[in-house]
Amino acid sequence: MITLTEEQRIMLNTVRQISQEKIKPRAAEIDESGEFPWDTVTLFAENGILTPLLPEPYGGIGATYLLFSMILEEISKVCAASALILIAQADGMLPILYGGNESLKEKYLPPLAEGKLSAFAATEPGAGSDILSLRARAVKQDNGYLLNGQKCFITNGCIADILCAYAYTHPDRKAKGMTAFVVEKDTPGLSYGKNENKMGMRGSINSELIFEDLWIPEENRIGEEGDGFSNMMAALNSSRLFTASQAVGLAQGAIDEATTYANQRVQFGAPISRLQAVQFMMADMVARTEAARLLTYQAATYLDQQKMNQVLKFCSMAKFMASDAAMQVTTDAVQVMGGYGYMKDFPVERMMRDAKLTQIYTGTNQIMRVVAAREIFKKP
């Protein structure tokens, strides 16, 4: 059973209120225009939730993973793209929090609570699931590194004040030769390619990044040379929990919409919620979502308890179960609502497009099953 402290309950209530009153009314417009909602960033910063996981000494609230999971769920019920602002922020922040030294943390983390943005820059045109094949190179030079390479699909890429970028310092050592760096916006040698035009989650920005002889001071290295891959995996693990939470929120949002509609829509002289065909669809939708939610909370709890022997398996299982549930549930919500569900006047068609992404990013669901299976068959 989940128990929250009084403080956590108050925080969650605030998030629920903001979501309903401020974020929900903007969701369709953000989706339609594809514009990044800077006002939502300000709203999150003003309410102290732009970086909930950040410990208090760095300006955050030191939320547990479980509370953050619930916050993401609450926002995703009404606008998954707005929840992605918090996810992308956490993705760019955690590599520093997990692997950076104290001076790096003190320099770069507090501004993230106040409204500066970060991004996690791993994927390249030739390196998606096969991330070890990345081609970015950081060559040691004097008291720093010269970075060359290209990244793609990076959420917040061109608007982030800092990037956590991954490159090989020793390509021959493969996983042990990758290193992570903090790259500041406006650094000479950093330029931006196109921003993607996407099917869903349209209120977020995804950019190509180009590094050309970009000089990074040695103090901006996260951890030691060769720590990059384990740093990336640790951040990704947490991010899979965030995607699962976003997916649970999307599914719940679609259920809420479909339930209201089914109670109001009259066909054959009665609300369609009286039809067994609709009832069975709704029963499956709710059961799928509740199951995904429990698995997601379990993964969050293991992260909070730092039970690392469970974290990898549960974060990947939660990610694929919750996102598959979100895809199925949002699709069924459109079905329950018939032709109206297909129209942009109702939010479920947007939720269905947004849900698709949760099956793809932070590791595709095929890769998530590979990871979970590897853990299941791992020698004790």
Ligand X SMILES: Cc1cc2nc3c(=O)[nH]c(=O)nc-3n(C[C@H](O)[C@H](O)[C@H](O)COP(=O)(O)OP(=O)(O)OC[C@H]3O[C@@H](n4cnc5c(N)ncnc54)[C@H](O)[C@@H]3O)c2cc1C
- Residues classed as catalytic: 91
Tokens of 358: 């949760």
Per-residue interface string for the shown chain with ligand X, residues 136-165, x marking contact by CB under 6 A: -----------------xxx----------
Smallest gap from residue 217 Cβ to ligand X (A): 23
Q: Report CA dihedral (74, 90, 84, 241) to the nearest 10 degrees.
A: -60
- Which residues neighbour 365 within 8 Å (Cβ) at sequence distance 6 or greater? 319, 320, 323, 324, 359
Helices (H) and strands (E) in the chain, counts: 13, 10
Residues between 197 and 226 that touch ligand X (CB under 6 A): 198, 201, 206
Closer by beta carbon to ligand X, 64 or else 155? 155
DSSP-based three-state secondary structure for 141: strand
Does 129 interact with ligand X (rule: CB under 6 A)?
yes
> How far apart (Å, rounded) are the C-alpha atoms in residues 231 and 166?
10
> How far apart (Å, rounded) are the C-alpha atoms in residues 213 and 187?
10
Smallest gap from residue 316 Cβ to ligand X (A): 13
Smallest gap from residue 80 Cβ to ligand X (A): 11
Does 355 interact with ligand X (rule: CB under 6 A)?
no
Does 133 interact with ligand X (rule: CB under 6 A)?
no
Contact 36, 46 (CB under 8 A): no
> How far apart (Å, rounded) are the C-alpha atoms in residues 90 and 71?
13
Per-residue interface string for the shown chain with ligand X, residues 161-200, x marking contact by CB under 6 A: -------------------------------------x--
Among 272, 357, 371, 372, binds ligand X (CB under 6 A): 357
- Which residues neighbour 271 within 8 Å (Cβ) at sequence distance 6 or greater? 262, 263, 264, 265
Smallest gap from residue 144 Cβ to ligand X (A): 23
Instruction: Output the residue with the shortest Cβ distance to ligand X.
Output: 128
Does 252 interact with ligand X (rule: CB under 6 A)?
no
Does 360 interact with ligand X (rule: CB under 6 A)?
yes
Applying CB under 6 A, the residues found at the interface with ligand X are 119-123, 128-129, 153-155, 198, 201, 206, 357, 360-364, 366-367, 370
